[in-house]
Chain A
Amino acid sequence: MNGVMRKLYSEFQNQLKAQLLGPLGKLPLEIRRDILERRILDGVLNGFVVRVRANATSVTQEHIDELKASGMDEDEIFDAAVCAAFVAGAERYQAALDALKATDDAP
């Protein structure tokens, strides 16, 4: 495998992750980091993030309203959703990459 495309996409993911942790985020940095590292969060945000990551079709307006009632604004909810969705995508790509590497490394 020449690995050109694989390297580029890995680079893209790293760059996007850095961007999500950068100064343009509205959700507090430590919470964005916790979401990207799959750590357990406080309050209703944890349930929302898990839902986005694992079963986004079940998200309803009530879940959004619950976050707002807890004090989050729309910018923060946007950041939380984007970070959670990013994790789901990155996990899939990493799984494929690991499988490719496993076969590359096989005797």
Chain B
Amino acid sequence: MRLECFYSRLGFSAKVITQIVRFLEGFNPDIVRVFLYRKEFFGESFQARFHETLRGDSDWTFGERELMAAFVSFKNQCRYCTDAHRATAGRFVGDATAEAALRDPETAPISAKMRAILRFLAKLTAAPRDVTGADIAALRGAGISDDAIDNAAEICAQFCVINRLADTFGFRLQTEQQLANEAKTLSTKHYKF
């Protein structure tokens, strides 16, 4: 990564956590170090909310939310996050479906609700000022509840933050094996350290 402090200035408890993550996944994803670095300033509360957003109560399944996370990351051209969440989504919905949804939601084998929400997220990610009540009406027309719209918007907001940090700090891309290990952890456990 581009800041040396992520390696040299983690506190004792943070170092212990990185060792546990390394034990579980065989390596340390860079996101872990960023969440742990001066965690009281940013990472601790952001990560806790991350867990609520992606694994808390919602109309959306875990797989659908992971797919949204991957999709927003893909639209932001964040390779690190796209890889990680596409792999995790793939464990829930299948790799081929996850890949197809990223490439073209209009033709991917996903539900009408997912197609509608991905269309909305593409706009919210790239051109938030163009989002209007008509976009919301279209989502409601597709049978999506306002709480589900809200959850999707929250995913978009959080990944627009994390994608930027990943690219700014130069997160190292993960190997296929590392992605598989991480996806297994995220799909069977959770986002809390």
Contact = CB atoms under 8 A, between A and B. Distances in A.
Nearest to B132: A99
The A contact surface, by secondary structure, is helix
A97 interface: yes
Count chain A CB atoms within 10 A of each CB in B78, B132, B149, B157 and give the residue with the most: B157
B137 A103 contact: yes
Nearest to B123: A95
Nearest to A2: B147
B157 A93 contact: yes
B61 interface: no
B168 A19 contact: no
Interface in B147-162: 147, 149-151, 153-154, 156-162
A98 B129 CA distance: 10
A81 B129 contact: no
A75 B133 contact: no
Contacts of A74: 3-5
B133 A102 contact: yes
Given A25-B41, A61-B170, A86-B161, A96 B5 contact: no
The residue in A93, A96, A98 that gathers the most chain B C-beta atoms within 10 A of its C-beta is A96
Interface string B82-115: 0000000000000000000000000000000000
Interface residues of B, number: 51
Q: Which of B58, B150, B159, B161 has the most CB of A within 10 A?
A: B150
Nearest to B165: A85
Contact of B164 (A52, A61, A96, A103): A52
A69 interface: no
Interface in A69-99: 74-75, 77-79, 81-82, 84-86, 88-99
A96 B153 contact: yes
Interface in A29-75: 52-53, 56-57, 59, 61, 64, 74-75
Given A9-B154, A13-B157, 16 more contacts: A1-B150, A6-B147, A19-B41, A20-B42, A24-B40, A25-B41, A74-B4, A75-B38, A78-B5, A82-B41, A95-B129, A96-B128, A96-B153, A98-B131, A100-B149, A103-B140
